[in-house]
Amino acid sequence: MSGAMSGEHRIDIDALRVELESDAGIVRAIDGLRLTLQRGETFALVGESGCGKSMTALALMRLLPESGHVAAGSVRLDGEDLLDLPEAAMRGVRGGRIGMIFQEPATSLNPVMRVGDQIVEAIEAHTPLRGAEARAKALQWLERVGIPEPARRLDDYPFRMSGGQKQRVMIAIALAAEPDFLVADEPTTALDVTIQAQVLELLRDLQRERRMGLLLITHDLAVVAGMAQRVALMYAGQIVEVAGADEFFARPRHPYAQALLRALPRRSRHGQALQAIGGTVPALTQTFTGCRFAPRCEFAHEACVAAPPPLYAAGPMHEARCVLVPEGRASEPLPSLPAGSGATSPAATAASGPAATAAPGPAAGGPSAPLLAVEHLTVRFAVRGGALQRVRGHFDAVRDVSFSIGRGETLALVGESGCGKTTTGKAIVQLLRGLAEVQGRALLDGADLFALQGEALVAARRRVQFIFQDPFSSLNPRMRVAELLDEGLASLRPEFSPGQRRERIAELVQQVGLRPEALQRYPHEFSGGQRQRIAIARALAVQPELIVCDEPTSALDVSVQAQILNLLLELQQRLGVSYLFITHNIGVVEFLADRVAVMQAGRIVEHGDTAAVLERPAHAYTRELLEAVPRLELAP
């Protein structure tokens, strides 16, 4: 790739091609990828779920799944091809020279090892420290990544930690040996904004201290804008644009890059369908004869399908794989689509018409009884200790929380990881029975969910669904996607015939942006973002009235996030669906939420209309949260 910088310590990936065996044929997950990472720089790799970002990281670390192999190319660390090293030598490179933060900490951490022992294991494998010294170093790393009460949490098991806390432990393990390079695959996906800011600042500090090179794989463009010196955008296994970060955001040259920036949620688009990108990433089992983005591109013409375009020079240190910017042409931005005319997802298309652009909120006609009223909710967990795990005390994860949600309304619940947001949601949908003591009431149309049993509880589950934060652990790995979606329909919607269920499932897969062949695949065959779409489809399947959404877009790239937000908005406007939206993404809150409640240490400390809370926060904690939000300033 042109524009590679010279330097003594670097990683060079050259003409990399990775293939995976699948039932549908050979998947060409990466096709001719070239990039260079210098020590001391941050290189961001962005793109849609399934485009090859994570597979690039796994190939670099030689951690491809059994079905995959490197078909061509090289991965050189200071000139030495890592693909030629024996496995024993490669184990010294992993963690010692190149660390990796995996996308899903819940599946990367050993569930039967204490988190401190897992950090110590990495330290002892790659540094001279042993025993007490290694444990002291592990404690320092837990402190640096922002784990509260690190001395106590050192002996906890992963299941006792929230999703964000597990992500921080994973980061501590990756950094424990202070490697020269770090591959970070969605390192801040599960983190709230304050911890995200701490982690990003930690990564910046390590770069200054050790000149660490960072390959940052993320879908959060605001994080990219604040962290990266260079950006490469991937699509369908190829890099389609690479540039300096400032240049990329100011003057994107590829139509895909421009479409991504238009798809970002922002306050000015509140209640309006986002300009999502129509269609899906093409199947990588096919042989491409032209531009891979052409079927989804607003500017496609004959030349786009005649031959695969190379990377053309679009300016100094700037390349784009598009025939509209051939080498030597003046580097002018491509024409922007007028507001409202962008390509849309199937969900947004279905939502076209007057109802699709109406602002969300409670049904017209004045105040009415809320759909859900939570009154004085307290959730208490037993604290156990000792060899026999006797109860040593109690911990109130949620403390005297009250709020209501009207029909067709969205209440966003925000706050730091571990503050009680997810526990609140799980308590409402009755997922903590037998696990915790739940006090207070959750009234669904006046009926207390906490008192329901038998058929009454089943009927309530039809009306209230939950989208889990970690899609991998919430999907049965032994069931195909069609079976996962049919399971809920068959048990909670018995009035649907098998044919009606099949039609509903086919519609759902299209709405969440997956191809029909996904129905016959298993969860492990998908990327993290694709699994999240399956989890969202499962929650939507039974047509609930209220959905508790626990970070539903945290694992989604920008274009798919726009599809899902458009779908949620359309369902709300057409059917009056209500949402309790648990998130740390303030941009999504600005776009979707009518009201926002801010939680700290199990309590709601501020609650009000979204605009009022975000523009004029009254509580110091809310101001602290908003100050930590990474911002990407774009034209309305």
**What's the angle, vertex CA 594, arms to CA 449 and CA 556, rounded to 5?**
85
| Residue pair 605/611 in contact by the 8 Å Cβ criterion | no
For 138-141, the CB contacts below 8 A with 24+ separation are 138/172, 138/176, 141/172, 141/175, 141/176
Residues paired with residue 547 on neighbouring β-strands, in sequence order: 465, 579
Return the pLDDT at 368: 66
Q: How confident is the model at residue 61 (pLDDT cuts 50, 70, 90)?
A: very high
For tokens 């597990």, name the residue.
166
**Mind listing the pLDDT tens digit for each residue in 525-540?**
887 778 888 988 999 8
Helical H runs in 325-453? 346-350, 421-428
Q: Which residue has better confidence, 321 or 357?
A: 321
Dmax (CA) for the chain in angstroms is 74
Residue 354 pLDDT greater than 80, yes or no: no
Return the pLDDT at 564: 82
**Mind listing the pLDDT tens digit for each residue in 270-314?**
767 888 887 778 889 999 999 999 999 988 888 898 899 999 998
- Of 39, 37, 32, 90, nearest to 61 by C-alpha is 90
Return the pLDDT at 635: 54
Return the pLDDT at 144: 87
Average pLDDT over residues 113-117: 95
pTM score of the predicted model: 0.76
CATH 3.40.50.300 is the classification of domain 10-228: yes
**Mind listing the pLDDT tens digit for each residue in 566-617?**
888 888 988 899 999 998 888 889 989 999 999 999 999 999 999 999 999 9
- Of 193, 194, 118, 123, nearest to 158 by C-alpha is 118
Residue 376 pLDDT greater than 80, yes or no: yes
CA atoms of 444 and 283, how far apart (whole Å): 43
Q: 3-class SS at 75?
A: strand
Burial per residue of 204-233, b for 16 or more beta-carbon CB atoms within 10 angstroms, e otherwise: eebbeeeebbbbbbbbbbbbbbbbbebbbb
CA atoms of 168 and 124, how far apart (whole Å): 20
Residue 166 pLDDT greater than 70, yes or no: yes
Q: Give Cβ neighbours of residue 475 (< 8 Å, ≥ 6 apart).
A: 484, 523, 531, 534, 535, 538
Q: How large a percentage of the chain has pLDDT more than 90?
A: 55
For the chain, the structural domain boundaries read 10-228, 372-475+546-627
Q: Give Cβ neighbours of residue 193 (< 8 Å, ≥ 6 apart).
A: 584, 586, 625, 628, 629, 630
Topology match between the domains 10-228 and 372-475+546-627: yes
Residue 2 pLDDT greater than 90, yes or no: no
Residue 552 pLDDT greater than 90, yes or no: no
CB atoms within 10 A of CB 422: 24
- Of 449, 410, 457, 422, nearest to 593 by C-alpha is 410
What token pair was written down for 342? 């962008």
Q: How confident is the model at residue 386 (pLDDT cuts 50, 70, 90)?
A: low
| Burial class of residue 301, CB neighbours in 10 A (0-12, 13-18, 19+) | exposed
CATH superfamily of 372-475+546-627: P-loop containing nucleotide triphosphate hydrolases (3.40.50.300)
CA atoms of 500 and 505, how far apart (whole Å): 9
Residue 356 pLDDT greater than 70, yes or no: no
Residue 349 pLDDT greater than 90, yes or no: no
Q: Which of 2-11, 238-247, 265-274, 506-515 has the lowest mean pLDDT?
A: 2-11
**What's the angle, vertex CA 75, arms to CA 69 and CA 76, rounded to 5?**
155
Helical H runs in 109-187? 115-126, 131-144, 150-153, 163-175
Q: How confident is the model at residue 469 (pLDDT cuts 50, 70, 90)?
A: confident
Return the pLDDT at 630: 84
Residues paired with residue 380 on neighbouring β-strands, in sequence order: 396, 437
Strands 181-185 and 213-217: parallel
